[in-house]
Amino acid sequence: MLVVRVCCRGSQCWLCGCACACGCWLCWARAAFSHTHVHGMYHLPPCPVQRERLRRNKVEYDRRVAREELMRQSKEDEVSRLEALEMQLIERLKKTQARQQKAYHDLESALASAEAPVAKHQT
């Protein structure tokens, strides 16, 4: 159970409700001896409310980092897969172009040999 102490000026911490952060000697002494904290001026251990908030933030941060790492890995895998597919398609295109070029040369040869006898008949 968190005991909320009131400082000499009657105020409380705006973050968690513990002893105030006014910086007066009385508030600092209360915070130091009761293991609560005074925000800003002194570096005392955080109160239970802040510890829980920090723990939740760390858990959420770790969850986001893990999710982003999974997303990054899946994107890298997808890029690798697409690169492999691209290489396969390029190889298919090269083979198709080679077949078309061979067919074109065969057609040219056939047309050239067909024109040669026609030219002999016309003279």
How many other CB atoms sit within 10 Å of the CB of residue 19? 28
Residue 64 sits in the same domain as residue 88: yes
Among candidate residues 30, 45, 60, the one where a domain is terminated: 45
Phi, psi of 28 (to 5 degrees): -65, -45
Q: Let me know: does 13 contact 53? Beta carbons within 8 Å.
A: no
Q: Let me know: does 20 contact 9? Beta carbons within 8 Å.
A: yes
Report the greatest alpha carbon distance in the chain.
126
The Cα–Cα gap between 26 and 14 comes to 18
User: Can you give the residue range of the structural domain that contains 38?
Assistant: 1-45
Listing DSSP states for 73-93 in one string gives HHHHHHHHHHHHHHHHHHHHH
Residue 6 sits in the same domain as residue 66: no
Supply 8's token pair.
């000499």
Residue 41 sits in the same domain as residue 52: no
Residue 10 has what pLDDT? 54
Residue 65 sits in the same domain as residue 114: yes
Residue 32 sits in the same domain as residue 52: no
Report if pTM > 0.85: no
Q: Which of 20, 18, 10 has its CA nearest to residue 53?
A: 18
Residue 50 sits in the same domain as residue 86: yes
Residue 7 sits in the same domain as residue 61: no
Per-residue pLDDT of the chain (123 residues; tens, 9 = 90+): 344 444 455 555 544 555 554 555 555 566 555 544 444 444 556 678 888 999 999 999 999 999 999 999 999 999 999 999 999 999 999 999 999 999 999 999 999 888 776 555 565
